[in-house]
């Protein structure tokens, strides 16, 4: 383990399961942040974009 104040002192390594779940959590968090930024730029929600991608003529009303 690298020396960092946020790492527990008695931990020699991280379990693979923890690492995999942490990567999923971080990817989901950052994908959500990117979606928020995109919504603020173009004004469209994910529901509207998914409906248009599925071939809807107009986005669903919310």
SS (H, E, C) the chain: CCCCCCCCCCCCCCCHHHHHHHHHHHHHHHHHHHHHHHHHHHCCCHHHHHHHHCCCCCCCCC
What tens-digit pLDDT sequence spans the chain (62 residues)? 667 777 777 777 888 998 899 999 988 888 888 888 888 888 888 888 888 888 887 766 65
Is the CB of residue 43 less than 8 Å from the CB of residue 37? no
How many whole angstroms separate alpha carbon 30 and alpha carbon 7? Answer: 22
> Which pTM was predicted?
0.49
């Amino acid at each position: 383990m690298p020396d960092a104040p946020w790492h527990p002192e008695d931990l020699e390594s991280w379990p693979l399961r923890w690492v995999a779940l942490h990567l999923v959590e971080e990817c989901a968090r950052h994908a959500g942040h990117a979606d928020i930024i995109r919504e603020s730029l173009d004004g469209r929600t994910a529901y509207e974009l998914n409906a248009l991608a599925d071939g809807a003529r107009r986005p669903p009303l919310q």
